[in-house]
Chain A
Amino acid sequence: MTAEARTGVPPMVLAEGVHKRFGRLEVLRGIDLAVQRSEVMCVIGPSGSGKSTFLRCINHLEQINAGRLYVDGVLVGYRQRGDKLYELRESEVAQQRIGVGMVFQHFNLFPHMTALGNVVEAPLRVKKESKREVHERARALLDRVGLADKADSYPSQLSGGQQQRVAIARALAMRPKLMLFDEPTSALDPELVGEVLDVMRGLAETGMTMVVVTHEMGFAREVGDELVFMDAGVVVEAGPPREVLANPQHERTRSFLSKVL
Chain B
Amino acid sequence: MTAPPDTAPRAATVPPEDIKAVPVRHPWRWVSVAVLGLLVAMLVNSIVTNDAYRWGTVGKYLFDQRLSRGALVTLELTVVAMALGVALGVVLAVMRLSPNPILTSVAWVYLWVFRGTPVYTQLVFWGLISVLYPQLGFGVPFGPEFASFQTTQLITFFVAAVIGLSLNEAAYMAEIVRAGILSVSEGQTEAAAALGMRRGHIMRRIVLPQAMRVIIPPTGNELISMLKTTSLVIAVPLTTDLYSSAREIGIRLFQPLPLLICAAIWYLAITSVLMVGQYYLERHFARGSQRSLPLTPLQKLRRRLGGSPGGREARAAPHVPLGGGGGERAGGGGL
Alpha-carbon gap, A106 to B319, bound state (A): 25
B327 pairs with A191, CB closer than 8 A? yes
Contacts of B185 in A (CB 8 A): 108
Interface size class of A (residues with CB under 8 A): 35 or more
* CB–CB B326/A195 < 8 A: yes
Smallest CB separation, A170 vs chain B (Å): 7
Interface residue? B198 (CB, 8 A): yes
Of A106, A108, A192, which is within 8 A of B327 by CB? A192
Set of chain A residues within 8 Å of B325, measured between Cβ atoms: 146-147, 149
Chain A residue nearest to B319 in the complex (CB): A157
The segment out of B1-9, B189-197, B261-269, B304-312 that lies at the interface is B189-197
B289 and A111 contacting across the interface, CB-CB below 8 Å: yes
Instruction: Judge whether B327 and A194 touch: CB under 8 Å.
Output: yes
Q: Give A141-176 interface residues, CB cut-off 8 Å to B.
A: 146-147, 149, 154-159, 161-162, 167, 170-171, 174
In the complex, whether A81 has a CB less than 8 A from a CB of chain B is no
Expressed in whole angstroms, the minimum distance between the Cβ of B205 and any Cβ of chain A is 7
Q: How many residues of B contact A (CB 8 A)?
A: 32
Output the least CB separation between B311 and chain A (Å): 25
Assess the A126–B195 pair: CB atoms within 8 A: yes
Contact indicator B290/A156 (Cβ below 8 Å):
yes
Task: Judge whether A91 is part of the interface by a CB distance below 8 angstroms.
Answer: yes
> Does A219 lie at the interface of the complex (its beta carbon under 8 Å from any beta carbon of B)?
no
User: How does the 8 Å CB contact mask read for B49-60 relative to A, with 1 for contact and 0 for none?
Assistant: 000000000000
Interface hits, B176-220 → A, CB 8 Å: 185, 187-188, 190-199, 201, 205-206, 209-210
What is the CA–CA distance of A194 and B188 in the complex, to the nearest angstrom? Answer: 25
Contacts of A147 in B (CB 8 A): 325
What is the chain A residue whose CB lies nearest that of B188?
Answer: A108
List 22 A–B pairs whose Cβ atoms lie within 8 Å, in order of A's numbering: A59-B194, A90-B198, A95-B196, A101-B194, A102-B191, A104-B187, A108-B187, A108-B191, A110-B206, A110-B210, A111-B289, A112-B289, A121-B205, A122-B197, A126-B196, A126-B197, A149-B325, A154-B288, A156-B288, A157-B322, A167-B191, A191-B327
New A-B contacts (10) at CB < 8 Å, excluding given A102-B191, A104-B187, A159-B327: A61-B190, A95-B196, A98-B196, A101-B194, A112-B289, A126-B195, A154-B287, A156-B290, A156-B291, A194-B327
Interface of A with B (CB < 8 Å)?
59, 61, 90-91, 94-95, 97-98, 100-102, 104, 106, 108-114, 121-122, 125-127, 146-147, 149, 154-159, 161-162, 167, 170-171, 174, 189, 191-192, 194-195
